Amino acid sequence: MFDPHISAPQKTMFDGGNWEKDVRSVVLEACDKGDDPTGLCVIFLVGDERPLSQRVNSYRVGASYLRKRLEGIRRAGFEAPMTVRAIEMVEKSLQEPKAKTG
């Protein structure tokens, strides 16, 4: 994000580091298969700890896109620990046996 107080923004932009430093947590949730073929999406919660219903700063990524996202961020020289955590959450969820109903 642009910060007018940084004296050398181009240096800061290419130094690498944690791309997701403002992401506080990730939440796995079910979504329509039209949104993502896995039926899972991840909400990246940015900033404070307000409840999700009151949060404005969040973004949603389909589970099937997470590895591509991680690859792109790493290719740019950054790390994405919350994306790694999200991938682990998705993999665990997909490995769990589905509960039988009826």
Condensed to tens digits (0 to 9), the pLDDT of residues 37-86 reads 999 999 998 876 666 666 568 899 999 999 999 999 999 999 999 999 99
Number of domains forming the structure of the chain: 1
Runs of H (alpha helix) within 5-65: 9-13
pLDDT, residue 16, reads: 73
- In angstroms, the CA 16 to CA 73 distance is 10
pLDDT, residue 67, reads: 97
Instruction: Specify if 99 maps to a domain.
Output: no
What pTM was computed for the model?
Answer: 0.72
Instruction: Specify if 1 maps to a domain.
Output: no
Provide the token pair at 30. Answer: 């079910």
Instruction: Specify if 83 maps to a domain.
Output: yes
In this predicted structure, the answer to whether residue 5 has a pLDDT above a threshold of 60 is no
Instruction: Specify if 4 maps to a domain.
Output: no
pLDDT, residue 102, reads: 46
Instruction: Specify if 5 maps to a domain.
Output: no
> Which residue did the predictor score with more confidence, 41 or 2?
41
Other beta carbons less than 10 A from residue 66's beta carbon: 25
Provide the token pair at 63. Answer: 């589970």
